[in-house]
Amino acid sequence: MNVFHCDRCDNVVFFENTSCVHCGCLLAFLPDAGRMGSLESAGEGLWHSPRADAPGETYRLCSNYAEQQVCNWAVVASEEQRFCLSCRLTRTIPDLTALDRREAWYRLERAKRRLVYTLMRMGLPVSGKQEDPARGLAFDFLSDVPNQNQFHVLTGHADGVITVNLSEANNAEREQRREQLHEPYRTVLGHLRHESGHYYWDRLLKDSTRIEKFREIFGDEREDYGQALQLYYAQGPSATWPEQFVSAYATSHPWEDWAETWAHYLHMTDTLETAAGCGLSIQPDRPGEPMMRRRVLGLGPPAYFDWLMEAWVPLTYVLNNLNRALGQADAYPFVLSRVAVEKLRFVHETVVGAGSASSRTAIAIVQQPDGVELSC
């Protein structure tokens, strides 16, 4: 995630802000410009961006912004759309008669906007079912229905539709499930990144020339998926799973291995962009310890993956130490084996090959000396 500033007063603003806390101006994310922008009223529900680099110039607030206060994105006025790019991807919202469901919906949409932002920054295709019924993406945010045969919503992906159980937006319930499943990490954004991996497997790999390479690295996805999951939940992962996978769940089936690795790659790139946007560098007093120096590189060509990994190691080293100093669990509770790193490289190459060169944005990453292990 980039670091944004108010157009009027240059104060730092955040991706979720709707107004500047310093000067009070209205804020909205402008998808066509890829940034947070201040808006001035142009009358009749229209808004104008005072900055000359806003391609749309005149905007309307997304209906979920103006009417529901669960969004903070704008729509280019000439598009004649009620909803922004992110909200148009939501096909089903929960029953909002209960206050807690409205709050859960807001949390899901907030996480989805971060996902969409990253996908846009990578130049990946992001289109809804309305624009592309066959290959488009959609989200269903559903809640369990009590007293109806104990209907339970399963979070997952099928044919371009990502379904998320509303309870995942409840911090207490999500933490309980994380403990029950012995997961080191479980967040709303993590769910969305994981399920988007299934969608982009269909979109980028299923019928591509890279499918054989995928099978060499991740395994043959044609093995029975349902049976593989049953076996995983019955027996659990092998004790040696950290030697080849980013997570225990990745061992269940090649599709899940890909989705877990894809989500991990999105974690990495988004966090690295945030660190770079904040101007973070790490310069330890003792030689040989993880260090970072800012260096501007892009997401591609594929050779840049090595720079991404070399930046990631010292960053996670610092993140975990800071969390421990606060008495919190590790922010990054993972160890990446060499095999897992090569799987991440495959994801990176897939993204680079699929991303639009005009949309892909350079991010600042950093250099580290040789000789530091890729796990900590």
pLDDT at residue 256 greater than cutoff 60: yes
pLDDT in tens, 15-58: 999 999 999 999 999 998 899 999 999 898 899 887 756 555 79
Distance of CA 358 to the CA centre of its chain: 20
* Strand order, beta sheet including 58-61: 26-30, 35-43, 46-48, 58-61, 74-76
- Strand order across the beta sheet in which 161-165 lies: 90-92, 138-142, 161-165, 156-158
Which residues on neighbouring strands pair with residue 13, listed in sequence order? 4
Q: Which of 74-83, 96-105, 167-176, 283-292 has the lowest mean pLDDT?
A: 283-292
**Residue spans per domain, the chain:** 1-84, 89-199, 208-376
Euclidean distance between CA atoms 191 and 197, whole angstroms = 10
What is the number of other CB atoms lying within 10 angstroms of the CB of residue 88?
21
The mean predicted confidence, pLDDT, of the chain is 87
Statement: the pTM of the whole predicted model exceeds 0.85: yes
Pairing of strands 12-13, 35-43: unpaired
- Chain Cα centroid distance, residue 183: 19
3-state secondary structure of 232: helix
What are 155-206's pLDDT values in tens digits? 999 999 999 999 998 888 888 888 888 888 899 999 999 999 999 999 999 9
Q: What is the pLDDT of residue 181?
A: 82
Note the residue count of the chain: 376
DSSP codes of every residue in 150-188: TB-PPPEEETTEEEEEGGGG-HHHHHHHHHHTT-S---H
